[in-house]
Amino acid sequence: MPVREPIVLIEDIKQLKRETDTAIFAHNYMDPDIIEVADYCGDSLGMALAAEQAKQKNILICSVRYTAETAAVMAPDKNIRLSHSQAICPVTGQMSAVRVRKYREDNPDVCIMASINSSLEIKAEADICADAENILRVASSVKKDKILFLPDESLGNYLKENMPEKEIEVWPGGCPVLRSVDISDIELARQKWPGVPVVVNNACRSEVRKLADFCASTGEIVEYCNKSLHEVIICDEISIHGRLYRKYPERFFRQLAPSKLICNSMRLTTLEVVERALKGEAGEQIILPFDLAESARAPLEAMIKAVSRKRKTK
């Protein structure tokens, strides 16, 4: 097939979506072109809730595996396909379910809270799940005084710093992309763009977060930038800058540490991959072991109950 311009490919994908009755859900970290063909764009929780409510039977998740698995748990009546079978978040391999199970045996009084960025096996061991945007709200709903938060050490530390009334335990681990940013990157950006506010993802290291003017989840960063009429330095995965730059070409969004803030797993999904996945030639149909899915559903539902608010759509 001859090489097609993105604009042509986008139209072909939209046509294919109609023919196959498929909804496309794109993670916040997808390229702007993928968001262009998506019916929904948001975080993993948002996508899982949107999958539950979608009128289409077929849903193509453009993200990494744990997002597609979470959607499959929450919407078992839908056909969930992951755009690229190798799109695996390295965080999901950082912790074993066996270790968590052993911890529970030894610490029955501790609430185990799993990040939504965890494997299905870890979720299945947890009491409740949490995402970056709602972590404080979810933790507030926990009755127990002590919480083990895993597998993201940075987000766990964020929880610890913002919820001194609870005893929070964290284990080493977390997003290698966001954790690659260090103090020198912030200092360099401040030298380059003096006086410009720096917005930092709350899954970055504590020392980096402490230097931020605004620290929040990706969804909240996008919201902040949507409202800001001024220059902003963004410390989040590089796709966020690309998306905002496309939406507001007249504004000045600056990317902090552009060579570090790239998630290779998210970048695997291109327009060509989306088209092939819609044709069933790429990606993977998500089929989960029933018992594992049921065990993971309870902590996800506990999170949704704790959050219980309307989610934003694209």
Give me the residues that bind ligand SF4 (CB under 6 A), please. 29, 64, 89-91, 117, 175-177, 237, 263, 265-266
CA–CA–CA angle 94, 201, 169 (5° rounding): 45
Which ranges constitute the DSSP H helices of the chain? 6-20, 32-37, 44-53, 65-74, 97-106, 120-125, 135-141, 153-162, 183-192, 206-209, 218-227, 238-247, 264-267, 271-278, 290-307
Looking at residue 312, the DSSP 8-state letter turns out to be P
Smallest gap from residue 85 Cβ to ligand SF4 (A): 15
Is 299 within 8 Å of 129 (Cβ atoms)? yes
Smallest gap from residue 69 Cβ to ligand SF4 (A): 13
Smallest gap from residue 257 Cβ to ligand SF4 (A): 14
Smallest gap from residue 238 Cβ to ligand SF4 (A): 10
Beta-bridge partner residues of 207: none
Of the candidates 212, 150, 151, 204, the residue with the CA atom closest to the CA atom of residue 180: 204
Residue 17 has which token pair? 């979506």
Cβ-based nearer residue to ligand SF4, 9 or 222 = 222
Q: How far apart are CA 61 and CA 38, in angstroms?
A: 9
Cβ-based nearer residue to ligand SF4, 16 or 262 = 262
Q: How far apart are CA 284 and CA 248, in angstroms?
A: 35
Q: How far apart are CA 118 and CA 65, in angstroms?
A: 10
Cβ-based nearer residue to ligand SF4, 37 or 89 = 89
Cβ-based nearer residue to ligand SF4, 22 or 92 = 92
Smallest gap from residue 174 Cβ to ligand SF4 (A): 8
Cβ-based nearer residue to ligand SF4, 33 or 43 = 43
Smallest gap from residue 51 Cβ to ligand SF4 (A): 18
Cβ-based nearer residue to ligand SF4, 31 or 237 = 237
